[in-house]
Amino acid sequence: MKNMNASSDRLKESKEEFIAQWGALGTQWGINRTMAQIHALLMISPQSMCTDEVMEELEISRGNAHTNLKELVAWGLVRMVVIKGDRRDYYEAEKDVWQIFRIIARERKRREIEPALALLSKCAEETKGLKGEDARAFHKQVSELQDFVGMASHLSDRVAAMKHSFALQIASKLLG
Per-residue pLDDT 10s for the chain (176 aa) are 566 677 888 999 999 999 999 999 988 877 899 999 999 999 999 999 999 999 999 999 999 999 999 999 999 999 999 999 999 999 999 999 888 888 888 888 888 899 999 999 999 999 999 999 999 999 999 999 999 999 988 888 887 787 777 777 776 777 77
Last-in-domain residue among 52, 78, 93: 93
Residues 56, 112: one domain?
A: no
Domain boundary among 93, 109, 142: 93
pTM for the structure as a whole: 0.75
**89 Rama class: left (phi>0) / alpha (psi -120 to 50) / beta:** beta
Same domain flag for 86 and 110:
no
Residues 155 and 143 both lie in one domain: yes
Q: Are residues 87 and 121 in the same domain?
A: no
CA pair distance 72, 30, nearest whole angstrom: 13
Here the CATH number for the domain that contains residue 60 is 1.10.10.10
Is the domain of 157 the same as that of 137? yes
With vertex at residue 32, the alpha carbon angle to CA 28 and CA 37, rounded to the nearest 5 degrees, is 95
Domain boundary residue among 66, 93, 120? 93
Structural domains counted in the chain: 2
